[in-house]
Amino acid sequence: MTDYSAFGNLTIGQYLPYGSLVHHLDPRAKIVMFSLLVAGVTFASSFSASVLLLAALMGIVRLSRTPLRYALQGLRPALPWIAIFATLQLLFYQGQYGSDVCSTIWSWGFINITTCSIRQIGLMVLRLLEFMIVISLLTLTTTTAELTHGMDLLLSPLRRLRFPAHELSLIFAIALRFAPTLAGELERIMKAQASRGADFGEQGRLRFIQRTRNMLPLMVPLFLSALRRAEDLTLAMEARGYTGGKGRTSYVTLSAQPADYLALGTVCVFCAILFFLPLETLDTLIVATVSHNMQEVYSLIAH
């Protein structure tokens, strides 16, 4: 490995300061909106719903002015796994798809490829794509500071139920704050070990087992240093009079604008449409149309 940068091609957690409409939304609104979209992606069980979602997400990507390439970059390391899962599903998926009857395309021994398995794979790939876009979009358009304040304020009503909202968001903030520091530390440890002859292997795609094994001697020094830093940080926080969330005021204030409510409303309506419209029937309808089964088309429309 010639390149020791630890988080070189990680896009989740990167922020692109393009200052678009999406960037300027209230982080609270954004967190709720993107959670709704994640729920949408999770529960969309039909092809039509998935395609609609993808279209909507593409629209948001355009609005945010972030290059699509960035939003999709995080997908690259996951590609081999997607391929493996897709193959497994293709070969062994036996179930039914909705009310549809599966027709076998090819069968050999216990391997049974049906129209249903192909559809299932398509749905899975779409879903992963959408997850990636949703999560990347949130972090690409929102700074970590905004995210933590958004979380803090969203969870603050729960404080009355003794839920440690402030503490939780502080933990989150500190984790984010120290991510680049620890990445730099890891880089330093790797260089120090490499200079004494440690071999971190070539960046071969298929040598990931060996690469993982080579990471083990890095973990102990990294953890030790993280613990030492934690101890220092506790002292520094105590010295600055930190005694927990009680009686604390906040330097950062958020105020929701009409645009935030509008955006939130739009997403709510969109998700409701996905949820309540009979999109699975639409799926069947499209399949029937494509396969020229006019009789079924009429019966479905009449239905």
Partner 1 sequence: MIVVEDVHHTYDVDRAHPVTALKGINLHIEEGEYVVIIGRNGSGKSTLAKHFNALLIPTSGDVSIKGMNTKDPQHLTTIRHSVGMVFQVPDNQIIATVVEEDVAFGPENMGLPLQELRARVDEALTVVDMLDHRTRPPHMLSAGQKQRVVIAGAIAMRPACLVLDEATAMLDPRGRRDVLDTMQQLHAQGVTIIAITHFMREAVEGTRVIVMDQGNIAMDGPPQRIFSQADELRQLGLDLPQVTQLAERIHRRTPAFPTPLLSVEECVEELCRLPQSAVVSS
Q: Is position 148 an interface residue for partner 1 (rule: CB under 8 A)?
A: yes
List CB contacts of 63: < 8 A, sequence separation 6 or more.
20, 21, 22
What angle in degrees, to the nearest 10, is found between the helix axes of 258-276 and 47-64?
160
Q: Is position 1 an interface residue for partner 1 (rule: CB under 8 A)?
A: no
Closer Cβ to partner 1, 28 or 119, answer by number: 28
The Cα–Cα gap between 257 and 268 comes to 17
- Which member of 239, 290, 301, 302 binds partner 1 (CB under 8 A)? 239
**Please, what is the minimum distance in Å from the beta carbon of residue 170 to partner 1?**
8
Q: Is position 173 an interface residue for partner 1 (rule: CB under 8 A)?
A: yes
The token pair that represents 259 in the structure block: 């645009």
The Cα–Cα gap between 223 and 298 comes to 66
- Which member of 73, 115, 143, 156 binds partner 1 (CB under 8 A)? 143
- Choose the stretch contacting partner 1; rule: CB under 8 A; options: 40-48, 100-108, 216-224, 249-257: 249-257
- Which member of 39, 79, 236, 256 binds partner 1 (CB under 8 A)? 236
**Please, what is the minimum distance in Å from the beta carbon of residue 255 to partner 1?**
12
254 alpha carbon, distance to own chain's centre: 25
Q: Is position 202 an interface residue for partner 1 (rule: CB under 8 A)?
A: no
| Strand, helix or coil for residue 112 | strand
- Which member of 8, 109, 197, 241 binds partner 1 (CB under 8 A)? 241
CA atoms 121, 124, 126, 128: torsion sign: negative
The Cα–Cα gap between 45 and 66 comes to 28
CA neighbours closer than 13 Å in the CB half-sphere of residue 57: 28
**Please, what is the minimum distance in Å from the beta carbon of residue 183 to partner 1?**
9
- Choose the stretch contacting partner 1; rule: CB under 8 A; options: 21-29, 78-86, 180-188, 295-303: 180-188
Note the residues at the interface with partner 1 (CB under 8 A): 143-145, 148, 170, 173-174, 176-177, 180-181, 184, 229, 232-233, 235-243, 247-253
